[in-house]
Structure 1
């Protein structure tokens, strides 16, 4: 099998958005070319075909699935369909940038819960933060930006504590990078907790970020409520072709995921060998703590998502980018304390 093509930037490396470094799979690119010859036509009024393709692949009923413009689009539909302005959403801080932004757009009160020192989410504190005005709680698995993974047993206990009137969003945007033995039994969780909605995307492992295709699934009752906000003609014509071709090329996808994971782990080992306390990531990025990390990467022409205190999150998968990161950080290593404060205790991410 030929090695996949890595898309090289024109200057420096842009590692800020946890993008897939590889060009689209050949079969997916071919399917998209065919679609381009028909773009004078509107897509489906409502995306029934796309929903059917996803439902069949995931072993779900079609009325359990909702789609949108990336996971972010689906998250916005969820917020607007289950919460009213002035009600609250609980999430870990820092988190995926979209949640505080979307909460503000939906006029929801944000309740950020500080992350644990080991990069994990404090599910006990999140459950305690739920009050009469809370309508949504978000748990990212893996977490963004740390890449840590909530333990399945802890999650089970947490879900039992959450009132049924509160919708729990289980954000699995990076699911494909998680070891198979650590993947949740989503069907069982939905059967036991009809207030849970899983959120996934084709932007990360599938490398289709530019097409903005995301989906969620839940109990039929909750999914139908979310689908009331489906925008007519809102999913582009390329979505069905791209998703169908991606599912058909799953073997190639897994090879690419394996390559990204190998590079991620090699880069983490190198950094930890220098004494940088990088937590284990289950996603396609690494969170690198240290007061001068973000500045050092910027000086080297490397774009990264930076956080209060100087830490940074970088996308992984491109060996050349990994070497550039190590080269940029080498001069700063001696200045990083052995016991470093990994995360800011609060603040908008």
Structure 2
């Protein structure tokens, strides 16, 4: 069939590439997928039991308002329920934020490299992405981002810690940046990896939201909470923006499984914190081993490490795959490796040592 009306600008949108899964060619070797920043721990037993109990209710629609989860998040963060917006993972939250604020002729500003979905979500919303290169330390270049603001800028995204580099923006630097951003421009603090951020001067997005009228914060249950497969995220946003986000949200986008599992996960955060602490300890072990091996990389405050291998990236990714580690390569730049099971981390350390020998 020909002659269909299809948006021509969509041809410019790159396809989102999910982290590669384990290869069937390595069936004789236990393979670890460390390409998607997934939590290696399964959900807590109580959460798994709850999900199983809900299996008999899938013939019913979920609560579209997500009242129980919204109420729990409102209480946890000390904000009004009208400020909470749910979405199918933080990626859908970002899509809502973009479509609620920007359209054709508008610009959405963010650092690059950052979360791979940002430019495609912006273009899908009809707006123009403005990608400001990271600085020499692979951190947000906030001065350059300020200089890139125009009268067409509608939204600014700050990924903190940044994906895929793991680098962070300090509270002082972020406050200085926000002081200079026009108040009519929304700044989104994307804190998908906030639980792993042990930076001494780490900003707290919700506290900034409470002080400023143009701040939104994006969170997810995919990482620290280990609910990536259920797809549930949320935003904390000014009431007018929150209403606009709900207007563009997918109806029934967050399943009953996701809502119930998220509520229970909030109730057992002390148990989950034990796992977060264990992952951070593993991260520090890997980082120390990389340093001893002489492998250069930026400081990470996320559940992954970034190896800036440049043109050697594809070869390194292939060698890692042959060793049973599936990583996320960005050809010409570097690769991202998730902190995962102990055995996977041991193999990554061994690879780093072999890198140094070569």
* Alignment TM-score, normalising by the size of structure 2: 0.87
Contact 1:90 1:137 in 2 (8 A): yes
| Structure 1 segment 1-349 matched on structure 2, within 5 A | 11-179=30-198, 182-290=201-309, 291-292=312-313, 293-309=316-332, 311-335=334-358
SS, match of residue 57 in structure 2: coil
**Aligned residue pairs: how many?**
328
Q: 1:41, CA displacement in angstroms?
A: 1.2
Q: 1:187, CA displacement in angstroms?
A: 4.2
1:57-93 deviations in Å (ceiling 9; x for gaps): 2211100111101000011011111111231111111
1:224-249 deviations in Å (ceiling 9; x for gaps): 22222232222111122101210121
Which of structure 1's runs of 4+ aligned residues deviate more than 6 A?
A: none
Matches of 2:206 and 2:231, distance apart in 1: 25
Matches of 1:146 and 1:318, distance apart in 2: 20
Greater Cα shift, 233-242 or 138-147? 233-242
CA RMSD of aligned residues (A): 1.9
1:70-121 deviations in Å (ceiling 9; x for gaps): 0000110111111112311111111111101211211221111111121211
Task: Report 1 or 2 for greater relative contact order, CA contacts < 8 Å, sequence distance ≥ 6.
Answer: 1
- 5+ long unaligned stretches in structure 2: 1-21
Contact 1:175 1:183 in 2 (8 A): no
Q: Partner residue of 1:342? A: none
Matches of 1:77 and 1:65, distance apart in 2: 13
Matches of 1:251 and 1:70, distance apart in 2: 22
1:135-191 deviations in Å (ceiling 9; x for gaps): 111111111111111011110011111112211110000111122854434344223
SS, match of residue 132 in structure 2: strand
Contact 1:177 1:261 in 2 (8 A): yes
Contact 2:206 2:217 in 1 (8 A): no
Contact 1:297 1:329 in 2 (8 A): no
* Alignment TM-score, normalising by the size of structure 1: 0.89
Specify whether residues 165 and 263 from structure 1 end up closer, same or farther in structure 2 by C-alpha distance, changes over 3 A only: same
Q: 1:122, CA displacement in angstroms?
A: 0.3
